[in-house]
Structure 1
Amino acid sequence: MAQKPLTKTQLVAALAEGADMDKKSAGAALDALIKIITDEVSGGGAVTLPGIGKVYCRERPERMVRNPATGEQIKKDADKVVKVTIAKALKDSVNG
């Protein structure tokens, strides 16, 4: 059975313990990291997190999609999606 993902509180506590700092500083560091990644990716850039992967924004072209309820074809406008490419080191640690 799969474990539940870490909550932000649990992540801050683990970060504080691992970096030997108080929880308030760890929470501020995590919030700053989230803001940096959000600003960079929303501006069209990419962020590489060593050992974890690369977070980037990709544009999807306009395309035709199907409404599953009615089967009707609908034109979907071009949009942007956030993608994450996982680092090989992380894949290897999970699989091996």
Structure 2
Amino acid sequence: MTDAGTLTRADLAEKLHEQVGLSRADSARLVERILASMCEALSEGENVKISGFGTFVLRDKGERIGRNPKTGVEVPIAPRRVLTFRASQMMRDRIVRAG
């Protein structure tokens, strides 16, 4: 992992190289292909479920009225699609034990 405690694409590719034995270039290409497949599915409106890890879920949020916290003025918030992540129970259990 990088110094900031963030797992990057390069870190994933390096783990793949070390644990599976693929070349670094092949490992990097595989990580890119997996992420591209996930992005494509999400852009087509599909949810992405990775068993034991979690689910990336698309939700359509309707228009609503928001309030500017500084001025208190009400403003309409346009409808939009948002991406959320729901961790699997297995992942939540691992995070609780690690903390």
Runs of 4 or more consecutive aligned structure 1 residues displaced over 2 Å after TM superposition: none
Partner of 1:31: 32
The CA deviation at 1:13 is 0.6
Identity across matched positions, percent = 21
Choose 3-12 or 58-67, whichever is displaced more. Answer: 3-12
- Give the match for residue 74 of structure 1: 75
Query: Which deviates more from structure 2 when the two are superposed, residues 27-36 or residues 5-14?
Result: 5-14
**Secondary structure of the structure 2 residue equivalent to 1:4:** coil
Q: Give the aligned partner of residue 52 of structure 1.
A: 53
- 1:19 alignment partner in structure 2: 20
Please give the alpha-carbon distance, in whole angstroms, between the structure 1 residues aligned to 2:57 and 2:71: 34
* Number of equivalenced pairs: 94
TM-score, normalised relative to structure 1: 0.88
Unaligned runs of 5+ in 2: none
| One-letter amino acid of the structure 1 residue matched with residue 83 of structure 2 | V
Task: Please tell me whether the aligned partners of residues 51 and 87 of structure 1 are also in contact (alpha carbons under 8 angstroms).
Answer: yes
Amino acid paired to 1:82: L
**Cα distance in structure 2, aligned partners of 1:65 and 1:71:** 9
Deviation at 1:69, TM superposition (A): 2.2
TM-score (norm 2): 0.86
Q: Which sits farther off after the overlay, 23-32 or 5-14?
A: 5-14
Whether 1:89 aligns to 2:95 is no
Runs of at least 5 residues in structure 1 that lack an aligned partner in the other structure: none
